[in-house]
Structure 1
């Protein structure tokens, strides 16, 4: 197997949603599998936190998270599925116990909630945090 393009990057759910909406709006109606895939993907993404995100909120969030030296993949996961509890951060950040203090985890959560206020704690999440 040969690497054709070593400069490819991962896309956030927000970027995929924006692109698919442009494709849907600009092109004539597709028929067949492409239309189905576009429709189903749009339907899925419109039920995720990315539907309320903006390019500016994502950029600002990434800037504020820079001091924590998170990997690109960790940042992408935090953008796609913003954490609301310390436990979620432990799942996202590799070796989080060694890399982050409890204060840093709380600061990350406050940055996430500042830039993505639409992501709210559910009663279930609050119960998990109090345990």
Structure 2
């Protein structure tokens, strides 16, 4: 096999999920390795934030994050695993202390919460904590 373009594009989990759903729905039942890989990957992705994302929410989020001059890989990580705390932003954004102010980090978190509200985890009720 010849590799024509070794790094043509990076796909988000959402794009992979959507593509595998189409593969699963359009083709007759697969047998063997392709069926196993498709099934296992879909099973994994169903438990990630990408299941609740939409193409529109991703596009709008990326557009609103543009002023922060994040690298493509950083944007991809934010889309695949949306951070909910400033600490998570530090793990994702290279040299975040130099590139982003605390206010900018809060703005980024607000943008993420706006476009991906399903990832914001609410703290458990006090009743649940005491059990």
**Equivalent residues in 2 for 1:89-100 (5 A)?**
89-100=89-100
CA apart distance, 1:73: 0.1
CA apart distance, 1:7: 6.0
Structure 1 stretch displaced more, 88-97 or 2-11: 2-11
| 1:116 paired residue number | 116
Confirm whether residue 26 of structure 1 aligns to residue 26 of structure 2.
yes
| 1:127 paired residue number | none
**Regions of 4+ moved over 2 Å:** 121-124
CA apart distance, 1:120: 1.4
Matched residues in 2 for 1:10 and 1:29: separation?
28
Structure 1 vs Structure 2 CA RMSD:
1.6
Gaps (5+ residues) in structure 2? 125-131
Q: TM-score, normalised by structure 2?
A: 0.89
Confirm whether residue 39 of structure 1 aligns to residue 39 of structure 2.
yes
Matched residues in 2 for 1:3 and 1:100: separation?
38
Gaps (5+ residues) in structure 1? 125-131
| 1:51 paired residue number | 51
**Equivalent residues in 2 for 1:73-88 (5 A)?**
73-88=73-88
